[in-house]
Amino acid sequence: MGILSKLKNTFSSKKDGDRYLSGLNKSKKSFSERIRRLAVGFAGVDEAFLEELMIVLLEADIGIKTAQKIVDEVENRAMDRKLKKFNEITDCLIEVMRDMYCAKEDAPFHKNTDGPTVILMVGVNGSGKTTTTAKLTKRFQEEGSSVALAAADTFRAGAIDQLATWAQRLDVPCIKGREGGDPSAALVDACRYVKEHQIDYLIGDTAGRLQNKANLMKELEKMRRVIEREIPGAPHEVWLVLDATTGQNGISQAQIFLETTNVTGIILTKLDGTAKGGIVIAIREQLGLPVKYIGLGETVDDLRPFDIDSYLYSMCEGLLEE
């Protein structure tokens, strides 16, 4: 049994299956269709086939360096195993992408066992950071946890009110900074609030300015310093929110945040709005960070924990169709 068939068998038991399939539908249609086209005139893993495969991977937003690694590994495994049939090659491709993602063991979620767990949300304006903060809040509530929000994006006009509106809808406290004020002050107040009220999670929504890297670094360093002073070991997680529709540009932006703060994971938003879902593999390979959650729709319930097997099956399901 090939890997795609195995993924199909396990996928049926995944509770997020339907959301993955619907959310990745654009990517599945694009990727599967382009791969299937390679079957026309397929004569083995020769130079012409590998060039065409490279193009398909680039069109999926996997990025040139990562795509080249995948192509080289597919060629090596095909030669070693003497693979001749097209479906054997597509299975090999899926296997290579899965192995690439799983090559590094990820640190477990750093939950504070001695007080509130603090999660800092970072990313550029427009990435969906504030909405994702609200969606995370809903997930934690459904798990039975209490949550408070810190509106520390004091730079973008309307950001504080936007988060406060979400907090009201979700019935959670929102500790607000002053527009144009010091975001660290809001985080200090929020840390003290969650300690006093014994709240499980504090999620801090921060500004996404990239115009001045030095200022961004200084601001994020100060945030980490004041949070750690209030709650030792915090922030326990720093999650970078990336817009999947920005593709390789999003990865370039991410590099700046990685240089300025200790990012522990990625949340990939708007994956339902792009046909280039290969960005997940590019993020993993180029940034070396795990994808924690993916946005598969606009509703508050459409933020789902990332699962590599569900992702690969949803991207490649079309290869099973005749």
Q: 62: pLDDT confidence band, cut at 50, 70 and 90? A: very high
Arithmetic mean of pLDDT, 118-129: 92
Q: Known binder of ligand: residue 112?
A: no
Q: Known binder of ligand: residue 126?
A: yes
Q: 215: pLDDT confidence band, cut at 50, 70 and 90? A: confident
Query: Residue 184: its pLDDT value, please?
Result: 94
Q: Known binder of ligand: residue 269?
A: yes
Q: 321: pLDDT confidence band, cut at 50, 70 and 90? A: low
Q: Known binder of ligand: residue 124?
A: yes
Q: Known binder of ligand: residue 148?
A: no
Q: Known binder of ligand: residue 129?
A: yes
Indicate the helix (H) or strand (E) that contains 243. strand 237-243
pTM (global) more than 0.75 = yes
Given a cut of 90, whether residue 210 has pLDDT beyond it is: no
Picking from 57-61, 96-100, 130-134, 297-301, which range would have the lowest pLDDT averaged per residue?
Answer: 297-301
Query: Residue 211: its pLDDT value, please?
Result: 58
Sheet with 174-176: strands ordered across: 174-176, 147-152, 201-206, 117-122, 237-243, 265-269, 291-295, 303-305
Q: Known binder of ligand: residue 125?
A: yes
Q: 45: pLDDT confidence band, cut at 50, 70 and 90? A: very high
Q: Which of 298, 180, 110 is nearest to 120 (CA)?
A: 110
Mark 184-218 as b/e (b = at least 16 C-beta within 10 Å): bebbbebbebbeeeebbbbbbbbbbeeeeeeebee
Arithmetic mean of pLDDT, 141-153: 96
Q: Tokens 């960070």, residue? A: 289
Q: Which residue ranges make up each domain of the chain?
A: 3-13+25-104, 117-313
Q: Known binder of ligand: residue 299?
A: no
Arithmetic mean of pLDDT, 39-63: 95
Q: Class assignment of domain 117-313?
A: alpha beta
Q: 248: pLDDT confidence band, cut at 50, 70 and 90? A: confident
- The residue length of the chain stands at 322
User: What CATH number belongs to 3-13+25-104?
Assistant: 1.20.120.140
- DSSP class of residue 247 equals T
Q: 173: pLDDT confidence band, cut at 50, 70 and 90? A: very high
Arithmetic mean of pLDDT, 250-275: 90
Query: Residue 214: its pLDDT value, please?
Result: 76
State pLDDT tens for residues 272-305: 999 889 999 999 999 999 999 999 998 888 999 9
Query: Residue 154: its pLDDT value, please?
Result: 85
Q: 257: pLDDT confidence band, cut at 50, 70 and 90? A: confident
Q: Known binder of ligand: residue 208?
A: yes
User: Left, alpha or beta for 171 (phi > 0: left; psi -120 to 50: alpha)?
Assistant: left
Given a cut of 60, whether residue 261 has pLDDT beyond it is: yes
Average per-residue pLDDT for the chain:
93
Q: 1: pLDDT confidence band, cut at 50, 70 and 90? A: low
Q: Known binder of ligand: residue 71?
A: no
Query: H helices within 38-82, ranges in order?
Result: 47-59, 64-81
Given a cut of 90, whether residue 218 has pLDDT beyond it is: no
Q: Known binder of ligand: residue 130?
A: yes
Given a cut of 70, whether residue 244 has pLDDT beyond it is: yes
State pLDDT tens for residues 66-104: 999 999 999 999 999 999 999 999 999 999 999 999 998
Contact 280, 268 (CB under 8 A): yes
CA distance 164 to 158: 10
